[in-house]
Amino acid sequence: MSYYKDYQTESAVAAALTEDSSLLRHELVNEHTALINPNAKILDLEQFDAGRNRKRGIFATQDIDSFADYIELNAQPEHISVFVDKNQMRAVAILNFDADGFEQGRLDHKAVLDAERTVMFKKLMGMHDMGRCNQKVFAEFLEDWGHKVVARDADGNEIENAKAINAVRNMRIDESAQTDSHAGNYRETRSRLESVEAKSIDGALPAYFTVNDECYQGIPARNLALRLGISNDDGQPVFKLEIKALQSVRDELAKEFADIVATRVFDGVSVCIGQFQG
């Protein structure tokens, strides 16, 4: 014979189960992670420690020595991969690209090196990208950077900086035009031949310019040839300065940048040209 106190209704059983499942229980998965009831939640115990349980983060610099020193102090050679983006002149070293016992590491500890343009190369790229500039702006550019920019004639002979500036400042545009026309019963044709000639009162204009510059800090200097274009804007000379074979220059700079990075990091570390997304 059962007693009333031993009899449990369905609602009483449900209440007892709810009470039992709400009890806080935990089980250590490893020294840094715990599995917690109810609802089997994962709790990372690192937040309660005085420090992190592994290295992660991003170190960014424009100094290649600091880049190499950070890698040496914070990673093992067999765990590193370096990727060089030639368009951005950036090297990214993933210090936990590999991990012992795993196919791949966490990929969240990095050192980033952004090659720093020289002041001269910044100015040249600005002139190149600007497209056209007026007479005053171009003359002032030659005045400010005459110690780096060398004017040359068509034969490659150097033109004294002061003479080159005077030639630019005292330039005039001569325009001549010849019109031919022909009228017939069914059609009429016209053609106009124009020629624009740039002349200077104070002597011959520079045919092109050369610059010797590193382009980026830490990369050996090179000679850059600058093409000079002159056009006419309502009788006023308009200048365009372009770096010859710019894409080839960029490719050479990227290769040298990658070589320098490879010589500064650990021996045996792979340096790849390109970007890695992961």
The string of pLDDT tens digits covering residues 244-258 is 999 999 999 999 999
Query: Which residues in 47-77 are b (16+ Cβ under 10 Å) and which e?
Result: eeeeeeeeeeeebebeebeebbebbeebbee
Q: What are phi and psi of 136, to 5 degrees?
A: -65, -45
Reading across the β-sheet that carries 41-44, which strands appear in turn? 25-30, 33-37, 41-44
Under 8 Å between Cβ of 27 and 182: no
**How big is the CA angle at 177 (ends 176 and 179), to the nearest 5 degrees?**
160
Task: Express each pLDDT in 57-93 by its tens digit.
Answer: 999 999 999 999 999 999 999 999 999 998 899 999 9
Q: Confidence class of residue 196 from pLDDT cuts 50, 70 and 90?
A: very low
Q: Confidence class of residue 195 from pLDDT cuts 50, 70 and 90?
A: very low
Q: Worst-scoring range by mean pLDDT, 15-19, 149-153, 160-164, 254-258? A: 15-19
H-type alpha helices, the chain: 10-21, 64-74, 119-130, 135-144, 161-169, 246-264
182's enclosing H/E stretch is strand 171-183
Q: What are phi and psi of 239, to 5 degrees?
A: -110, 150
Residue 165: is its pLDDT beyond 70?
yes
